[in-house]
Amino acid sequence: EQVRQDADPGDQETRQGEGGSVRWVPVELHEVPAPVAGPALTLVLANGLRLEVGADFEPRTLRRVLAVLQEPLAA
């Protein structure tokens, strides 16, 4: 069924379409956050490993990642 965008929900002609009535339903609009354009921080380690961190990366998690990267490799 097609309903005119400027239709008045109380308008009998609008409610009655071909083959039945139009059912009006509530609509909720939500804002969509804009995507972040690339990493906020890029770390390039001496071994060439590249770590890109987004703007929403938690500082506590970053500290944990850095601590692990500073640990000596087990032989």
73/60 Cα distance (integer angstroms): 22
Q: Which residue has the tokens 């071909």?
A: 18
Reduce the DSSP state of residue 59 to 3 states and report it: helix
Mean pLDDT of the chain: 77
Contact criterion met (CB below 8 Å) for 17 and 24: no
The predicted pLDDT at position 75 comes to: 60
The predicted pLDDT at position 27 comes to: 92
Residue 39: what residue type?
P
Contact criterion met (CB below 8 Å) for 42 and 55: no
Taking every pair of Cα atoms in the chain, the longest distance, rounded to a whole number of angstroms, is 81
pLDDT tens, residue by residue, 21-56: 888 999 999 998 887 678 888 988 888 888 888 888
